[in-house]
Chain A
Amino acid sequence: MAFAKIQVTGQIRLETGLHIGTSNAFAAIGATDSPVIKDPITNLPIIPGSSIKGKMRTLLAKVYNTTLAEKPGDDGEIISRLFGNSSDKNYKVGRLIFRDAFLTNKDDLDSRDVKSYTEVKFENTIDRITAEANPRQIERAIRDSVFGFELIYEVTDKSQAQVEEDFKVIFDGLKLLELDYLGGSGSRGYGKVVFEDLKANTVFGNYDVSRLNELLTTEV
């Protein structure tokens, strides 16, 4: 029986400030009205795995679905087998595990004299009839933050022949994420990310990843 786990590691670098929102029921008057999600222990911003997974899935669905899927359950086979599909008995659990990404370059940021790992951006809407401004404050994880990215791919008897095909899809997904944005307000410049130092590594079982690493360096 073939069973292996392939780990893809790398870094997510923020080219522009990133806003992955969370709710804040107790915001003070005049304080940030949309905060970003943070690690409760360190109070540093994080990128939840669910955000990466969800964004990557919808982006890939535009490319790899043959018909327009109305709901995630309608996704085609290629997407379903990677991301899971609750309405398809073959792919109840997908082959990918996304991990939350934590800030890894705190010391580097400290040495560059930043006061906080998030910034508060003041913005406003201007009414195009009355010219009245309606201000808002949005929190962003700061530019040049680096987050540790980790992805686990599961090789089984069934998937063994499809590993390379699957990895092409994964790399396309990462590339699409770089062309798109992660988190909120991306149409006005937030959330431009770059994946750096991507590496595939077999962490359990036997699988030769040299071919995958070749793909990684040429594709991304």
Chain B
Amino acid sequence: MKTEYRTFQFSLLSMAPIHIGSGDKYTSREFIYENGYFYFPDMGKFYNRMVEKGYDQKFERFLQERKPRASNNRLISFLLDNRISDRDFGGYRIKETGLETEENDNDSKLGAINEVVKFMRDPFGTPYIPGSSLKGAIRTILMNTNPDWNNKKVVDTRGKRPKENKNMISWGAKKGKEFNDLFNAIRVSDSKPFSNESLILVQKWDCSAKLLKVKPLPLYREAIAPLTKVEFTITTTTAEAATLIEKFEDKALEFYKGYKNFFLKDFPEDKIQDNIDYPIYLGAGSGAWTKTIFKQANGIIQDRHKKPVQTKMKGKGVLKLTKAPMKSVKTTQATRKLIMNNESFYEMGKANFMIREILQ
């Protein structure tokens, strides 16, 4: 039996916190901060237990009330007020990093965070990275580094505002024409699920290019801790697709070089992380220029943010950072730190990868 199918192993190593959202979030009334852990109980189980104990009406009242001090509106204060010592409500725990402080909040003790954006999970509650997320990131790099795709033709100027010309790369079935869908021939699997222990909570920090000031924003995300390994398989079904994946490591370097010259060079060097393998940006908070064909999008993205004065984008926008515990990695030469600064700043969404063909 002969087929053109070829399988590649895509090994991802997170260099910084990576967040892939599930489209949902925890409110401040859905987690318990205690003893150095954030505990996210199964709220269905939690409520059932409250009903059993006869606390259901009190709990409903707690959900509706808003006390002036933010810290009194958290689930932990409800448990303490009612002397409920149970903590076996299912769910999972995430260890605090100690970097989760809320400086804007007058209630600046640890754990006083508000909402947490959820990480993608399978139905058994284990986090994983969907193949669709990785595939989008791969596609962005391929489109940025191919002159046939990275040109004026990619901008669709019809309509009110310019947008991407989605028909530049042929896709889908067309009547009377041979099926030609390059990105159908690149098949990216979902990652293997990994444990909740690989997750930490990280805050969004913005670094402006002009003032070089770094400021925290009240946005928390569940993210993969730096130096977590995640495995994917990529299957290609045509020779053309296989060539793209074979060359992808070099393409990723080329993209990174371009991105660095275009955007990263405006920022202090100690906030930028060196690579170990081949660079890629994944998931939320990595910034618009890692998601777009930046050469063509430059100008158009800024235009989009013109109207509401508060969110107006200055220049090419801010560098998006986050704080996580410092970590070191052993390379062939020496042991070195993942980050160059002493303030625990990482580039949100940064990862490294290697591709190896699996021969069957």
Please state if A63 and B2 are interface contacts (CB–CB under 8 Å).
yes
Contacts of B21 in A (CB 8 A): 122
Nearest A residue to B289 via CB reads A131
Please state if A187 and B186 are interface contacts (CB–CB under 8 Å).
yes
Please state if B161 and A130 are interface contacts (CB–CB under 8 Å).
yes
Contacts of B73 in A (CB 8 A): none
- Which of B122, B183, B293 has the most chain A CB atoms closer than 10 A to its own CB? B122
Q: Are A129 and B186 also in contact (CB < 8 A) when A176-B3, A188-B135, A189-B130 are?
A: no
Chain B contact residue count (CB 8 A cutoff): 48
Cβ-based interface call for A62 (8 A): yes
Give CA–CA (A138, B298) in the complex, Å.
32
**0/1 string, B122-135, CB within 8 A of A gives 1:** 11110000111001
Q: Are A188 and B154 also in contact (CB < 8 A) when A16-B189, A131-B292, A142-B122 are?
A: no
Give CA–CA (A65, B248) in the complex, Å.
33
Cβ-based interface call for A114 (8 A): yes
Please state if B190 and A130 are interface contacts (CB–CB under 8 Å).
no
Partner of A121, one of B130, B136, B164: B130
Nearest A residue to B360 via CB reads A179
Range for the number of chain A residues in contact with chain B: 35 or more
* Number of A-B contacts defined by CB within 8 Å: 115
Q: How far is the CB of A66 from chain B (nearest CB, A)?
A: 13
Give CA–CA (A123, B154) in the complex, Å.
23
Partner of A132, one of B155, B188, B304: B304
Give CA–CA (A179, B3) in the complex, Å.
10
- Which of A143, A188, A190 has the most chain B CB atoms closer than 10 A to its own CB? A188
Q: How far is the CB of A107 from chain B (nearest CB, A)?
A: 15
Partner of B123, one of A116, A123, A185, A188: A116
Q: Are A129 and B300 also in contact (CB < 8 A) when A187-B184, A188-B188 are?
A: yes
Q: Are A128 and B130 also in contact (CB < 8 A) when A181-B187, A187-B186 are?
A: no
Within 8 A of A (CB), among B283-303: 288, 291-293, 296-297, 300-301
Please state if B123 and A119 are interface contacts (CB–CB under 8 Å).
yes
**0/1 string, A149-172, CB within 8 A of B gives 1:** 000000000000000000000001
Chain A interfacial positions (CB closer than 8 Å to B):
16-17, 62-63, 112-116, 119, 121-123, 126-132, 135, 137, 142-144, 172, 175-176, 179-181, 185-190, 192
Q: List 18 A-B contacts (CB under 8 A).
A: A63-B1, A121-B130, A123-B132, A126-B292, A127-B164, A128-B164, A128-B292, A130-B292, A131-B297, A137-B23, A143-B123, A176-B1, A180-B5, A180-B237, A188-B130, A188-B132, A189-B132, A189-B188
